[in-house]
């Protein structure tokens, strides 16, 4: 699989190879391989407990790995190699790598004591040390893009879940990430608010942002994903184009899962 997609000539942004992870005696990732090219959207589906969040969290080293590797633009994430040994990077270098990967969580995780605008400006100033005038201009542009320019001085608690999630997306984008990771970004939302968040994400995909999205929104995956990956029990059970994996699944476990969520 890897070979044919690389023939497109597009650069590989993310490569995960032979990734294994256990918590005590529980094997959560049992050897995961995947490749995401620049501008691609990969959707990851699978039942609760199949290892989706853990996989996503290893991609920016929020989680240590037991074996295998994660590479961002060809650079090993989280570790440096010393001969055959892997040594965890110092915190400063981890922070620099994480700054290149945006992450959006199920529960928004906005800073409650900061306004919407302050939330979006925090990391570019605090982490990247960008000048505040420039950061403010970019932040206002991003809030406009997610439809919240009029809410810049509001506090998160006064916003709906859909609005909060759109702020969280703007906040991640403010770091100009190379890659965006979304972990069930609409799962905590009331049904009528799901669409506004998915619409923002569709716009990002259309603009060529490279994204990995854990989601149960099959319609979104069908419409937006270049590749769909179905996980169960720490394995990638089935992968491919959404028309195939979602429209004509081959594996029993994929069929069973889809019949429940569709
Ligand atoms: P998913 O996102 O697909 O629901 P997770 O990656 O969150 O799955 O979890 C996979 C398995 O790993 C689950 O059985 C979960 O309970 C377990 N797990 C996740 N994080 C931890 C942790 N920090 N310590 C122990 N077990 C964990
Ligand atoms: Mg999860």
pLDDT tens profile 215-256: 999 999 999 999 999 999 999 999 999 999 999 999 999 999
Shortest-distance Cα residue to atom 22 of ligand 1: 23
Strands of the chain, DSSP E: 12-23, 26-37, 41-45, 67-72, 75-76, 79-82, 85-88, 101-104, 179-183, 211-214, 227-232, 235-240
pLDDT band for position 6 (cuts 50, 70, 90): low
Q: How would residue 54 be classed by pLDDT, with cut points 50, 70 and 90?
A: very high
Give the chain's mean pLDDT. 95
pTM for this one? Answer: 0.95
2, pLDDT greater than 60: no
| Token output for 126 | 């605090």
- 3-state percent helix, strand, coil for the chain, nearest multiple of 5: 40, 25, 35
Please identify, by atom number, the ligand 1 atom nearest to the C-alpha of residue 184.
Answer: 2
β pairing state of 41-45 and 79-82? unpaired
The verdict on the CB of residue 58 being under 6 Å from ligand 1 is: no
Decide if 68 contacts 77 (C-beta within 8 A). Answer: no
Angle at 155 between CA 152 and CA 161, to 5 degrees: 95
User: Has residue 91 got a pLDDT over 60?
Assistant: yes
pLDDT of residue 262: 78
Between 6 and 63, whose confidence is greater? 63
């Amino acid at each position: 699989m890897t070979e044919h997609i690389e023939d497109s000539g597009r650069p590989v942004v993310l490569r995960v190879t032979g990734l294994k992870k256990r918590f005590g005696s529980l094997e959560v990732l049992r050897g995961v391989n995947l490749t995401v090219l620049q501008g691609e959207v990969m959707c990851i589906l699978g039942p609760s407990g199949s290892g989706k969040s853990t996989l996503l969290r290893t991609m920016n080293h929020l989680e240590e790995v037991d074996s295998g590797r994660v590479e961002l633009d060809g650079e090993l994430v989280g570790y440096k190699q010393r001969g055959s040994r892997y040594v965890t990077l110092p915190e400063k270098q981890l922070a620099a790598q994480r700054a290149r990967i945006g992450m959006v969580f199920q529960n928004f995780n906005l800073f409650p004591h900061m306004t919407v605008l302050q939330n979006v400006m925090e990391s570019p100033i605090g982490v990247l040390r960008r000048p505040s005038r420039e950061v403010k201009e970019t932040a206002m542009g991003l809030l406009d893009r997610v439809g919240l320019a009029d809410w810049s001085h509001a506090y998160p608690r006064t916003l709906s879940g859909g609005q909060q999630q759109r702020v969280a997306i703007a906040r991640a984008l403010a770091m100009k990430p190379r890659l965006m990771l979304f972990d069930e970004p609409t799962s905590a939302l009331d049904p009528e608010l799901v669409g506004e968040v998915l619409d923002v994400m569709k716009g990002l995909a259309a603009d060529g942002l490279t994204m990995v999205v854990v989601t149960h929104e099959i319609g979104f995956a069908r419409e937006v994903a270049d590749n769909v990956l179905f996980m169960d029990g720490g394995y990638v059970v089935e992968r491919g184009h959404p028309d195939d994996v979602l429209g004509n699944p081959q594996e029993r476990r994929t069929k069973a899962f889809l019949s429940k969520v569709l």
